[in-house]
Structure 1
Amino acid sequence: MSNPANVFVVGLNDFNRERLARLRGAEGLRFHGVIDPERVYDTEVFDIAAMLDEATARLEAFEGSIDAIVGYMDFPVSTMLPILCERFGTRTTSLASLLKCEHKYWSRRVQQEVVPEHIPAFTAFDPFDDDALTRIGEAGLYIPFFVKPIKSSGSRLGFLIDSPETFYRAIEQLRDQIGLIADPFNTVLEQARLPAGVAGVDGGFCLAEEVIGGWQCTVEGYVFEGEVVSYGIVDSLRYPGVLSFFHYRYPSGLPDYVQAKMRELTQTVMTHIGYDNAAFNVEYFWDEVRERIWLLEINTRISQSHCDLFEKVDGVSHQQVTVDLALGRRPDMPSRQGAFPLAAKFFYRVFFRDARVTRVPTVEEIAALKAEFPGSAIELQVAEGQRLSSLPEQDSYSYALAHVWLGADDVEQLHARYDSLAARLFFGFDEIDG
């Protein structure tokens, strides 16, 4: 009997460990943590150099074989993986191909080379330039437009600009907070060779883009030895009238021909980038009115938010894809072998500017809800006494108090179950700034 393979997971937490244990072939694997999860999940201060040193020391001290190094998070985990994998001879895509996805300006330029009709107008700008708004206009972009950092995490520091006043309010926040990601991202950029047109645009810059919209979705996929495979499309549905996400739903409800076109675009772009032997997901909009597909952005990982959805519908978390690729295997990802035809992750939100949390649902209340709704999962994102403004990784318009995963037979049943469950999630607040 062969020895089990050792798989090292950057930021391994209980959420990942439980699902990893249920993967196909998990009995032949041993999962080990690299870098404590609170270092990458529960902070907004990322000392990448120190984390790389810590991970290297832990791996070098391991007495067995190092067969794979994986991660399931966006920045900083995603950007550290190619560096660690190169140091220890394990499989993943190259740092250059990863940055062609994660450096938003470089990524737009690369996308524009092969699918220009699916890319919005865009330009890079320095948020510390007092004439930034004028320069954006000189580049051919006019209000309204969307602004986000060259490297961001989630929806953080993304702003819809609909007036000069909203631009300058956004600039204040960007100047105050962009360094939290810009500085560590620049540490990674120093290890890469950027093309001439991109080299001067570091992590302290922002991207201004033409406003695009429509039905948003995510194509989850991977590249194995040059072959691009898209294995699932997840819809991203927002609260009415705002930019905040309401829920992710799988499988997608988009028309088949739209899904087929998105898969085709994904294959074209990922092949052109040279991405290989790693998972990814690509976010799109389908503008139904203008019958146009827009490519929003590329992420160099699976979405953790979708793990439970794939497990409910297909029978196993798509962490399967990441582990198999890292071990040099074609992913053994099943299809429609789960307990539910449909699944979703809901974001229970409040739309305050700030507040102090005075009550959260009790352990007993959550246990009762989970018993009443089989297959459900509820994860609180706040604690009693916490200020909402202290929550990491929030969008610019709301706060997610809880994540709720549910399965159902159809859309109507899904929403009925969520409405019933959400009505019994009791939070309390004071010092509310609405």
Structure 2
Amino acid sequence: MLGILVFNFLVTIFVGSWELVQVNMFIMCFLVLLSLNHDFYFFSIGWGLGLDSLSFLLVSLSIWVVMMMIYASYGVKKLDISSKGFLLVNLILLFVLVLTFCSTDFFMFYVSFESSLVPMFILILGWGYQPERVQAGVYMLFYTLFASFPLLVSLLSLYSAKGTLKMGLVESVEGLDMVSVLWYFCTMFAFMVKLPLYLFHLWLPKAHVEAPVAGSMVLAGVLLKLGGYGFIRMVSLFSGVNKVFNWLWVSMGVLGGVIVSLMCLRQVDIKALVAYSSVAHMGMVLGGMVLMSNWGLGGAVVVMVGHGLCSSGLFCLANIVYERLGSRSLMVGKGLLSFMPNLGLLWFLLCVGNMASPPTLNLLGEISLITSIVSWSKVGILGIMGLSFFSAVYTLYMYSLSQHGMFVSSLYSCCSGKMSEYFVLALHIIPLNIVIIKGSVVVSNFY
């Protein structure tokens, strides 16, 4: 895997062949996915790196999404907007993500966790859409850095107190005194911003709207999962404090998801709507993770994988519409079914995936999450009802407003779709609907 990644770096630097990099990425995905059925708990791959089932799922998702975003960004090559630099930044981002998910040391995890910010910042500033991309990049930079410094202090304190930062060897923090509580919140704050939790999410819509299609796809598909992955890894160190404060995170996740779902109903920008829907989905994921039950953790992992495929596909569709119309507004992009009928089915499949309808992977995960939250508190069913209902409402709002109605009269002719676009969308939809067959294997491997 790492060998093919290094080969891609060399091809990009010395040859600059876009097609060769695409073929190599496809081969890399195939080789990685061959091992997906292995029932391993943990194995080392050297250099302080290792994989277990959770890491392997997210590494596979990272490689798959980065491959698709290179295919979806063919416009960069066609217009020759520093295409070699674009490929190089994407490969660096993939390398950092693989390093993050394979780290077996918390300090190495922290360094690679924060390093993912740099290539994402370059993507937004270098290939973003509007002049506001500078503000969006600064928003993302300062939100993430402001939250990450307490995590660094927490890790250094953990090393000073326990003598090691190796995963599996660090002793958990005992006690419920003021220091332990402060330690817990300093550690989890960085993951809440990256997830993002409601109230810490203001950087996400700005970053999504101003990012190029590749930035939006990897941001929704993989980078939001870094927060969930880090939370799963570190929450076991603070299990005693977490039991006291889990009501806070579940409440903020579920109720915040309801509020964000209502905010989705007043969005006219397609990318902003999909970005806010990511916040709503991640709120329920946080509710499952913080309870530390088998149902909650397994469901959270499955929803993270399903959401990564689904939201990435919706951003890809939004970019296709933007390339045709020159606008992302739902007021301008109405009646798409009239002149882009071939994409109507793909819009429908990704929209029903976004609202967790069968047979998508999101359904399996949300059933597990709902079971864990409701079994923890019967009152939680009220928030879950609101979240599930409004999730369907804003998704149907987006689909009906974009596909139906009278299209803009200034639009005389339009290409319905290209083979490369159908290929990228099929790579989103097929795993989203097929992997549920192996869903039991995925969840059992994680347990």
Task: Give the TM-score normalised by structure 1.
Answer: 0.28
- Write 1 or 2 for the structure with the bigger share of strand: 1
- Write 1 or 2 for the structure with the bigger share of helix: 2
